[in-house]
């Protein structure tokens, strides 16, 4: 399996605090059936790591995983926060953040916590016009999406994909996130599942998340989600 959203790299955002924790998170992911992880530190006003630093961290971590026989491959990515349209456009043009794949076909585009950005549809269309599919991470955890689902379904209609966090479907992010995650699942609005792991406690849980999908929506839906996940690194 591939985890497309994980805060695995230490010391650069609110994810892993130490190198040792990064290694242990990868080990736990392996035990969960994950073989590829896209490391997606936040790219926002608060956290803005240089791409070269991120690549060095990945190289160091990969070397240790290989040494310890943990068969997980780490890939570069970013979780880009929609601070504003100008913020995203400027940093995209300067090549400051990573897309989820080398061909720039997918980008993880997160909202600010607490308020829906009025620039969202504009930025989603901007990426789509360039051949990039914006992926909206963990909408089930945002009150503004739960209170006004049309905000999200409008983005889906434009061509955006939705990534729900596995922990939400199993109830670990609270009853409201679980309920809305299952609401999205029932309407076939869950395109992708990921861990959004930040630590050895907030860890990889894809197997359990997919179990919920299987029980609620059937094996065909599970395979569709896995196929989309695989497509991100396929090209």
The domain segmentation of the chain, as residue ranges, is 2-234
Residue 54 has phi, psi (to 5 degrees) of: -60, -45
How many Cβ atoms are within 10 Å of 148's Cβ, its own excluded? Answer: 13
Q: CA distances (Å), 163 to each of 51, 107, 212, 230, in order?
A: 24, 11, 15, 14
Q: CATH assignment of 2-234, given 3.30.70.360, 3.20.20.140, 3.40.50.2000, 2.40.50.140?
A: 3.20.20.140
- Which residue, among 38, 52, 48, has the nearest Cα to 12 in the 3D structure? 48
Query: Cβ neighbours of residue 152 under 8 Å, at least 6 residues apart?
Result: 136, 139, 145, 162, 184, 189
Query: Cβ neighbours of residue 124 under 8 Å, at least 6 residues apart?
Result: 109, 134, 155, 158, 159, 160
Residue 211 has phi, psi (to 5 degrees) of: -60, -40
Q: pLDDT per residue over 151-177, tens digit each?
A: 999 999 999 999 999 999 999 999 999
Is 38:206 a contact under the CB 8 Å cutoff? no
pLDDT for 204 equals 82
pLDDT for 235 equals 64
Query: Cβ neighbours of residue 194 under 8 Å, at least 6 residues apart?
Result: 3, 4, 5, 6, 137, 163, 165, 166, 206, 229
pLDDT for 48 equals 84
d(CA 136, CA 124): 10
Residues in the chain: 235
Q: pLDDT per residue over 147-157, tens digit each?
A: 999 999 999 99
pTM above 0.75, yes or no: yes
Helix-helix angle 19-31:51-68, to 10 degrees: 60
pLDDT for 47 equals 86
Successive 10-residue mean pLDDT values, the chain, 235 residues: 97 95 98 98 90 98 99 98 98 98 97 95 98 98 98 98 97 96 98 96 90 97 98 88
d(CA 178, CA 14): 23
pLDDT for 132 equals 98
């Amino acid at each position: 399996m591939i985890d497309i959203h994980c805060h695995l790299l230490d010391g650069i955002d609110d994810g892993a605090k130490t190198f040792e924790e990064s290694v242990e998170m990868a080990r736990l992911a392996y035990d969960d059936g994950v073989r590829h992880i896209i490391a997606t530190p936040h790219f926002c006003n608060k956290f803005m790591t240089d791409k070269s630093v991120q690549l060095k961290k990945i190289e160091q971590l990969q070397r240790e995983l290989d040494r310890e026989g943990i068969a997980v491959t780490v890939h570069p990515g970013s979780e880009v926060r929609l601070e504003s349209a100008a913020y995203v456009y400027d940093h995209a043009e300067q090549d400051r953040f990573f897309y989820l794949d080398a061909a720039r076909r997918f980008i993880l585009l997160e909202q600010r916590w607490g308020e829906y950005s009025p620039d969202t549809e504009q930025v989603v269309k901007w990426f789509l016009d360039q051949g990039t599919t914006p992926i909206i991470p963990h909408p089930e955890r945002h009150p503004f999406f739960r209170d006004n689902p049309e905000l999200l379904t409008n983005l889906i209609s434009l061509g955006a994909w939705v990534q729900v966090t596995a922990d939400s479907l199993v109830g670990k992010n609270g009853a409201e996130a679980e309920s809305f995650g299952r609401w999205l699942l029932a309407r076939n609005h869950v395109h992708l599942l990921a861990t959004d792991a930040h630590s050895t406690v907030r860890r990889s849980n894809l197997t359990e998340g997919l179990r919920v999908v299987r029980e609620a929506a059937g094996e065909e839906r599970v395979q569709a989600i896995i196929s989309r996940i695989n497509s991100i690194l396929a090209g």
